[in-house]
């Protein structure tokens, strides 16, 4: 059957998709399947190119922001991650709210809502003093050449001092974000010797094994040059009009590091649209992936480990998500929407989209349907437990809820 209920979600009249009825826990819903955003459209603004585990493509939030919001409406993500929803909302002239229990999330998001000019970054980098005798208090020699390590530690000390003094500004925050993103990776564009991609920081022990296997030693990397190079790449699509739009969003953005079930900084019935993707059971170990980033930014990783929602059972996951939905119901406007992206985990034996439907309905929302965006297979999908099927495709599954007026 094609078409489905074209009145379910505004703006869908011109889209092509199939629709199948479904039911879970006695709740009827429609499942809409199609290519709602094409592969070519999936590439978003250069500002999005910050590595972080388990992040969706910017075209996903862009689709819902375009169809379900107007200028200045408040768009929110309770599991902010690298800030894809927040940045896309800012780029599209919407007000921004974002939350993530991991403070690294806000550290990676805020600077891209207040992007500096490349010349400002270059001038500030030239001002930062580097001490060639600096060394880290932990052994990171398996990742960095001694001279590179000295530059990293000098930059880290400068940023910590500025933060302590209260003089850290938007240019410093940008440099901190870029440096955090350039610490380790698998090309000469990173500060480290060859290692795993930048969203997966391996342990020192494992890096020693990688070095032995590859017969490699850390080579010197010019950290200032690499920060400036990445800055130019991130700002490639940012002109003055876009910068002004982002700065307006950034100046008024509501950014929190809290449990998603308790966000008192957000007013009742203030959010028009939430677009989010929560942690999927125990699939991704966020704190372990980010241990080196936490060190660089002076964040206690044990605190992160205890706070981040990594649930080991479906029952635990449902409890956390239901609490989140209750909080979302409080802050969502009548007539507002939630786009809740989930996936198949544990080799397809758990379909979280169908788990989510009754949770949202029990919290007070109506289920508008499950949108299944079919897209080309990517290696990243292995993280979610989705394998390459016969058609060479995988899917995003987004449960759409509405708070009825």
Query: 84 and 224 in one domain?
Result: no
Q: Are strands 74-77 and 271-276 parallel, antiparallel or unpaired?
A: parallel
Who contacts 10 (Cβ-Cβ below 8 Å, separation ≥6)?
A: 67, 68
Query: 49 and 65 in one domain?
Result: yes
Q: H or E element: which one contains 334?
A: strand 332-342
Residue 310 lies in a domain: yes
Alpha carbon distance 110, 259 (integer Å): 19
Query: 390 and 325 in one domain?
Result: yes
Positive or negative CA dihedral for 383, 385, 388, 391? negative
Residue 54 lies in a domain: yes
Residue 8 lies in a domain: no
End-to-end CA distance of the chain: 30
Residue 150 lies in a domain: yes
Residue 3 lies in a domain: no
Q: Which of 106, 77, 87 is nearest to 237 (CA)?
A: 87
Q: Which of 52, 105, 40 is nearest to 284 (CA)?
A: 52
Alpha carbon distance 277, 81 (integer Å): 9
User: How far are the Cα atoms of 38, 211, 224, 295 from residue 136, in angstroms, in the given order?
Assistant: 46, 20, 18, 10
Query: 151 and 95 in one domain?
Result: no
Per-residue pLDDT of the chain (405 residues; tens, 9 = 90+): 233 444 456 666 667 788 899 999 999 999 998 888 765 544 689 999 998 876 788 999 999 999 999 999 999 999 999 999 999 999 999 999 999 998 999 999 999 999 999 999 999 999 999 999 999 999 999 999 999 999 999 999 999 999 999 999 999 999 999 999 999 999 999 999 999 887 777 899 999 999 999 999 999 999 999 999 999 999 999 999 999 999 999 999 999 999 999 999 999 999 999 999 998 765 556 667 789 999 999 998 776 665 565 566 889 899 999 999 999 999 999 999 999 999 766 556 678 899 999 999 999 999 999 999 886 544 433 333 334 334 334 578 899 999 998
**Three-class SS state of 309:** coil
Query: 167 and 104 in one domain?
Result: no
Alpha-carbon 142 to chain mean position: 28
Query: 91 and 68 in one domain?
Result: yes
Q: pTM above 0.85?
A: yes
Could you list the residue range(s) of the whole structural domain that residue 346 is in?
18-114+239-290+302-402
Query: 362 and 248 in one domain?
Result: yes
Number of independent structural domains in the chain: 2
Query: 243 and 224 in one domain?
Result: no
Report residue 336 as tokens. Answer: 């507002």
Query: 203 and 243 in one domain?
Result: no
Query: 51 and 89 in one domain?
Result: yes
* Per-residue DSSP letter, 52: -
Residue 338 lies in a domain: yes
> Do residues 398 and 340 lie in contact, with contact meaning Cβ atoms separated by under 8 Å?
yes
Residue 315 lies in a domain: yes
Query: 83 and 49 in one domain?
Result: yes
Query: 141 and 230 in one domain?
Result: yes
At which of 234, 254, 274 does a domain end?
234
At which of 194, 217, 234 does a domain end?
234
The CATH number of whichever domain residue 37 belongs to comes to 3.40.50.150
Who contacts 68 (Cβ-Cβ below 8 Å, separation ≥6)?
A: 9, 10, 11, 272, 273, 337, 339
Report residue 134 as tokens. Answer: 């600096």
Report residue 267 as tokens. Answer: 């007013």
């Amino acid at each position: 059957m094609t078409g489905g209920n074209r009145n379910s979600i505004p703006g869908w009249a011109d889209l092509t998709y199939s629709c199948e009825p479904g039911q879970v826990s006695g709740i009827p819903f429609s499942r809409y399947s199609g290519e709602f955003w094409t592969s070519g459209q999936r590439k978003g603004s250069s500002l999005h190119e910050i590595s972080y585990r388990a992040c969706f493509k910017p075209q996903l939030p862009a689709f819902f922001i375009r169809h379900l919001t107007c200028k200045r409406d408040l768009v929110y993500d309770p599991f902010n991650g690298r800030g894809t929803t927040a940045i896309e909302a800012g780029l599209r002239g919407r007000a921004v709210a974002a939350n993530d229990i991991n403070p690294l999330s806000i550290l990676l998001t805020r600077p891209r809502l207040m992007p500096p000019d490349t010349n400002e970054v270059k001038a500030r980098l030239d001002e930062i003093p580097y001490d060639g005798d600096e060394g880290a208090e932990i052994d990171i020699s398996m990742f960095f050449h001694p001279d590179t390590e000295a530059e990293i530690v000098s930059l880290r000390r400068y940023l910590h001092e500025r933060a302590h003094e209260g003089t850290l500004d938007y240019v410093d925050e940008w440099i901190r974000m870029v440096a955090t993103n350039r610490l380790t990776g698998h090309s000469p564009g990173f500060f480290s010797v060859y290692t795993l991609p930048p969203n997966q920081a391996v342990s020192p022990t494992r890096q020693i094994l990688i070095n032995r296997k590859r017969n490699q030693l850390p080579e010197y990397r010019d950290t200032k040059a690499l920060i400036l190079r990445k800055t130019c790449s991130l700002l490639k699509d940012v002109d003055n009009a876009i910068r002004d739009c982002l700065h307006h969003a950034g100046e008024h953005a509501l950014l929190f590091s809290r449990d998603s079930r308790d966000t008192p900084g957000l007013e009742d019935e203030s959010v028009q649209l939430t677009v989010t993707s929560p942690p999927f059971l125990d699939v991704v170990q966020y704190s372990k992936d980010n241990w080196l980033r936490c060190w660089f930014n002076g964040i206690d990783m044990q605190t992160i480990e205890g706070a981040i929602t990594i649930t080991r059972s479906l029952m635990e996951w449902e409890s956390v998500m239901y609490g989140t939905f209750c909080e979302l119901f409080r802050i969502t406007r009548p007539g507002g929407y939630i786009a809740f992206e989930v996936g198949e985990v544990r080799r397809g034996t758990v379909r979280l989209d169908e788990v989510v439907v009754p949770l949202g309905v029990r919290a007070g929302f109506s289920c508008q349907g499950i949108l299944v965006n079919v897209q080309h297979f990517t290696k990243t999908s292995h993280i979610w437990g989705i394998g390459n099927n016969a058609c060479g495709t995988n899917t995003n599954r987004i449960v759409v809820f509405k708070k009825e007026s």
